[in-house]
Amino acid sequence: MKTPLSGKPAASDLETVVSILSARFGNRASTLPGIRQTHANSLTWVAAQPPDIVVFPDTTEEIVDIVKLCALHQVPIIPFGTGTSFEGHVNAPWGGVSIDTSRMNQLLTVHAEDLDCVIQPGITRKALNEQLRDTGLFFPIDPGADASLGGMVSTRASGTNAVRYGTMKDNVIALKVVLPNGEVMTTARRAKKSSAGYDLTRLMVGAEGTLGLITEITLRLAGIPEAISAGICPFPSVQAACDAAILTIQSGLPIARVELADELQVKAFNLHSHLGLKETPMLFVEFHGTERGVEEQAERFGDIAADLGGGPFEWATKPEERSKLWQARHDAYWSALALRPGCKVIATDVCVPISRLAECVVATQEDIKSTGLVAPIVGHVGDGNFHLTLLCDMEDASDIEKCRAFLHRLVERSLAMEGTCTGEHGIGQEKMKYLLDEHPAATLDAMRAIKRAFDPLNIMNPGKIITL
């Protein structure tokens, strides 16, 4: 019995694996520095740790072969979708084989009556919805980036639509997974619900590729709503905006999106997208339903907002106006750069019970101010989840230090409010230390026990989530 991998594999094992994969996959494998670099970390401030080789398989069977080869030589495997994760998920701290699923990007079957579809993991969110369009159905989870669905499953992604449609954990019916020993597991049947044994589907959702590599996904779909209306509403304070969101949800209005932008983020939107908005806390909202239903929801939301001193509530009923609004919201990352050009963005997220959200955001704004940082905030208010787009001068060691200390305080603040260190980005490498703060020892031991049970060699995306 081999012991779990605890660092770089033997050079000879790496060489063997690289040479076998290069020979077998030809131009579907690459050891070029540029390719290896883009398969490390592209969008984040996390230092890139490239893999030794990148392979682009076409089938589950090919992945089985790669995994078996890596298991034999105890070489790390790093699953790769689009590389849009933030916390170092695709880095290869010990080298190894990056398995890029971008060629496995097919929509395999749509079962319109069952409101589900079967896809390959490399298909992206936008490509999927493009292909679904004629069916009258769509996949509602929208994390902003045009991520691959495999990556979205693996990070337990959610985004702006989660308040109505849930997160990835609520929208995956079944998975096909190549386990670290090369066996292929299907986690569930296609029935909408089941009580047949342990919930392996949910165990794989959010496992960040540390328990296996997903090669097929059965997703729940939703009907494209008959009517959609979106709008923006300014508020005198973050507290008032959060209260409006809480009251809206409590009153049972099936709001589809309710996004907070703080005053600095609104300023960034104005700079980047020329929206000409009043620079005050703002809610971006969207309602889905029938024509009559959407109208009623909008009216009620307007009343709630007005009661809290918000307004005027402006509607965008035309699709192009709606798109412009949401494009601005999705460009939060890019727009933030306009506030401090030349800096690197540190995107991070935390999540607290919704009743503590305003308190947490306001305390964070004060911290930003007193630390002298630039960090606009956007929040999925309906979930208590918010994002910081912290701008850091990577040439300035003291700025980096300041940012790190601030991020530490942000997480501690969230944890102190019964929150979590990440609502939707995942642990990756960067939040491993906070996972230890978030859970008691028995919980961490349970996670380690699961990792050991699935991956005794510690070859499946090692150095992420938790160490053995």
- Footprint on residues 133-162 left by a second copy (CB under 8 A): 136, 155-158, 162
Q: Pick one of 150, 425, 430, 460: the residue that binds a second copy (CB under 8 A).
A: 425
CA 310 to CA 298: how far, in whole Å?
Answer: 14
* Binding of a second copy by 370 (CB under 8 A): no
Q: Least separation, in Å, of the C-beta of 435 and a second copy? A: 5
Site for a second copy in 307-326 (CB under 8 A): none
Residue with tokens 């963005």: 345
Q: Nearer to a second copy by C-beta: 310 or 419?
A: 419
* Binding of a second copy by 228 (CB under 8 A): no
Q: Least separation, in Å, of the C-beta of 94 and a second copy? A: 20
Site for a second copy in 394-423 (CB under 8 A): 414-415, 418-423
Q: Least separation, in Å, of the C-beta of 24 and a second copy? A: 24
Q: Least separation, in Å, of the C-beta of 113 and a second copy? A: 4
Q: Least separation, in Å, of the C-beta of 316 and a second copy? A: 21
* Binding of a second copy by 445 (CB under 8 A): yes
Q: Pick one of 26, 34, 197, 372: the residue that binds a second copy (CB under 8 A).
A: 197
Site for a second copy in 84-143 (CB under 8 A): 111-116, 136
Stretch that binds a second copy, among 199-207, 340-348, 366-374, 387-395 (CB under 8 A): 199-207
Q: Least separation, in Å, of the C-beta of 91 and a second copy? A: 17
* Binding of a second copy by 459 (CB under 8 A): no
Q: Least separation, in Å, of the C-beta of 353 and a second copy? A: 4
* Binding of a second copy by 359 (CB under 8 A): no
Stretch that binds a second copy, among 31-39, 101-109, 231-239, 287-295 (CB under 8 A): 287-295
* Binding of a second copy by 431 (CB under 8 A): yes
Q: Pick one of 6, 42, 109, 443: the residue that binds a second copy (CB under 8 A).
A: 443
Q: Pick one of 251, 327, 371, 467: the residue that binds a second copy (CB under 8 A).
A: 251
